[in-house]
């Protein structure tokens, strides 16, 4: 098959999934064309069967804001025409699904099939804006196929947008070969972060308010009352300063290390004893899955799609949003019992390999591609 992969190139879950999916499909022999305003951050170096097409957004004096959606539609049309693509797979309903629909209408004949994958923000955040609601609904209903990364997101989309269309659930996945526990004996990096054997807590995100970064700082402060511990924070975003100020106020700033944005997060996750994801909203929780694949149990909130990823009491713990006391107690319970922690680590890795491996999930996309091509 010849497939266009339209996504945002940033460090969010949608860009990660789209890139990893495209690379894996290319390795299977499909021709994959990435279309975005810059190269996706996980598209590293030359990949056989992989092409990248940059969307050129021209700034005309007439426009207050550059019309990215129109530029994207034009680029999709050009790539489809030149390479005779079968499918345009877009990630996010707007503007990508709308741009793909417009590109298809500009093409002669029937054009390619359009598949839209919903990742969450386009439904839970953008979709709440009444000015976008009709566009989101239209983009979904005009797609030839629609997938969602969790049952929660599928059900919420159908309910909130009253869509008369089947939404297939295909969960996010992880490359369990790359995201793997650190081999025994390779502890030099861990000593760099925890020179005296401290427990390592980790959190990765875009540091937006919905991620509740300050809750993670409060958990660290409570854990440190029970045992030596440090926190590694990976990412950048608007709440970085607030977390820094809180860490200073609580007297734990010396135990917090800000590592910034990391393209190779798999090289760090394996050193975490515990991963924290105290979010107010998560449609799936790809960061949690990547941590679990590296053998790190997760303390998270019982929201959105997280219960589809984490089995509370087996490979992590789920608590109500904002219940820092309960999350801290759960973290201390795990970190103070070596046998319990080892069981949770083993279960977390087992869950990732047996249910969410890239080798299991990508064939689901291939099957769905074949299904919509037959329509």
Pairwise CA distance, residues 127 & 93, whole Å: 9
Q: Quick check: 7 and 166 in contact, CB under 8 A?
A: no
Amino acid 40: pLDDT: 78
Residues 11-63: tens digit of each pLDDT: 667 788 899 999 999 999 999 999 998 887 667 777 899 999 999 877 666 66
* Chain centroid, CA 123 distance in Å: 15
Amino acid 153: pLDDT: 94
Amino acid 62: pLDDT: 65
Band (262; pLDDT cuts 50, 70, 90): confident
Look at residue 68 and tell me if it is in a domain: yes
216 closest CA partner among 230, 203, 226: 203
Q: Token pair for residue 211?
A: 């991620």
Q: Are residues 46 and 161 in the same domain?
A: yes
Count of CB atoms situated within 10 Å of the CB of 34: 25
Cis peptide before 95 (omega within 30 of 0): yes
Q: Are residues 241 and 343 in the same domain?
A: yes
80 closest CA partner among 137, 2, 180, 187: 2
Pairwise CA distance, residues 243 & 254, whole Å: 13
Look at residue 10 and tell me if it is in a domain: yes
Q: What one-character-per-residue DSSP string does 266-306 give?
A: HHHHTT-SEEEE--S--SS-HHHHHHHHTT--EEEES-TTG
For residue 140, the domain's CATH number is: 3.40.50.2000
pTM higher than 0.85 for the full model? yes
Q: Quick check: 239 and 280 in contact, CB under 8 A?
A: no
Q: Does residue 313 carry a pLDDT above 80?
A: yes
Q: Does residue 280 carry a pLDDT above 80?
A: yes
Q: What percent of the chain has pLDDT over 70?
A: 94
Look at residue 183 and tell me if it is in a domain: no
Q: Are residues 193 and 254 in the same domain?
A: yes
Look at residue 28 and tell me if it is in a domain: yes
DSSP code of residue 129: S
Q: Kindly report which listed range (59-63, 269-273, 290-294, 317-321) carries the lowest average pLDDT score.
A: 59-63
How many domains does the chain fold into?
A: 2
Amino acid 9: pLDDT: 81
Contacts of 235 by beta carbon, 8 Å cutoff, 6+ apart = 11, 203, 204, 205, 206, 207, 260, 261
Amino acid 185: pLDDT: 65
Mean pLDDT, rounded, of the chain: 92
Band (125; pLDDT cuts 50, 70, 90): low
Q: Are residues 76 and 199 in the same domain?
A: no
Q: Are residues 238 and 142 in the same domain?
A: no
Q: Quick check: 280 and 254 in contact, CB under 8 A?
A: no
Pairwise CA distance, residues 107 & 92, whole Å: 22
14 closest CA partner among 127, 94, 98, 132: 94
Where b means 16+ CB within 10 Å and e means fewer, 64-99 reads eeebebebbbbbbbebbeeeebbbbbbbbbbbbbbb
Q: Are residues 293 and 362 in the same domain?
A: no
Amino acid 94: pLDDT: 83
Q: Are residues 351 and 363 in the same domain?
A: no
Pairwise CA distance, residues 48 & 254, whole Å: 45
Q: Kindly report which listed range (27-41, 66-80, 121-135, 180-194) carries the lowest average pLDDT score.
A: 121-135
Residues 180-227: tens digit of each pLDDT: 998 876 667 788 899 999 999 999 999 999 999 999 999 999 999 999
Q: Are residues 157 and 19 in the same domain?
A: yes
């Amino acid at each position: 098959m010849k497939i266009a992969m339209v996504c945002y190139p940033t460090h969010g879950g949608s860009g990660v999934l789209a890139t990893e999916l495209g690379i894996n499909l290319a390795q299977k022999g499909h021709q994959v064309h990435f279309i975005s305003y810059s190269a996706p951050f996980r598209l590293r170096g030359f990949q056989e069967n992989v092409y990248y097409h940059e969307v050129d957004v021209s700034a005309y004096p007439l426009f207050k804001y550059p019309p990215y959606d129109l530029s994207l539609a034009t680029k999709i049309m050009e790539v489809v025409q030149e390479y005779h693509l079968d499918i345009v797979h877009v990630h996010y309903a707007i503007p990508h699904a709308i741009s793909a629909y417009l590109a298809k209408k500009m093409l002669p004949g029937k054009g390619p099939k359009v598949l839209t994958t919903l990742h969450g923000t386009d439904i839970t955040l953008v979709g709440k804006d009444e000015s976008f609601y009709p566009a989101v609904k239209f983009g979904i209903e005009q797609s030839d196929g629609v997938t969602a990364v969790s049952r929660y997101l599928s059900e919420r989309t159908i309910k909130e947008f009253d869509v008369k269309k089947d939404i297939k659930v295909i969960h996010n996945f992880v490359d369990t070969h790359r995201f793997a526990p650190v081999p025994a004996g390779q502890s030099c990096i861990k000593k760099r972060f925890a020179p005296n054997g401290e427990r390592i807590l980790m959190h990765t995100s875009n540091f937006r308010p919905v991620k509740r970064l300050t809750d993670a700082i409060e958990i660290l402060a409570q854990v440190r009352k029970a045992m030596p511990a440090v926190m590694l924070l990976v990412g950048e975003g608007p709440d970085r300063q607030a977390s820094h100020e809180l860490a200073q106020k609580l007297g734990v700033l010396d135990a917090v290390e800000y590592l910034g944005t990391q393209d190779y997060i798999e090289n760090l996750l394996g050193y975490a004893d515990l991963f924290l994801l105290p979010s107010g909203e998560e449609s799936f929780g790809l960061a949690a899955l990547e941590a679990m694949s590296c053998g790190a149990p997760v303390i998270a909130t019982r929201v959105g799609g997280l219960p589809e990823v984490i089995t509370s009491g087996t490979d992590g713990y789920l608590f109500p949003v904002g219940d820092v006391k309960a999350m801290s107690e759960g973290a201390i319970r795990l970190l103070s019992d070596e046998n319990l922690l080892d069981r949770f680590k083993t279960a977390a890795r087992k869950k990732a390999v047996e249910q969410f491996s890239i080798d299991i999930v990508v064939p689901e996309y291939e099957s769905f591609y074949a299904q919509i091509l037959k329509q």
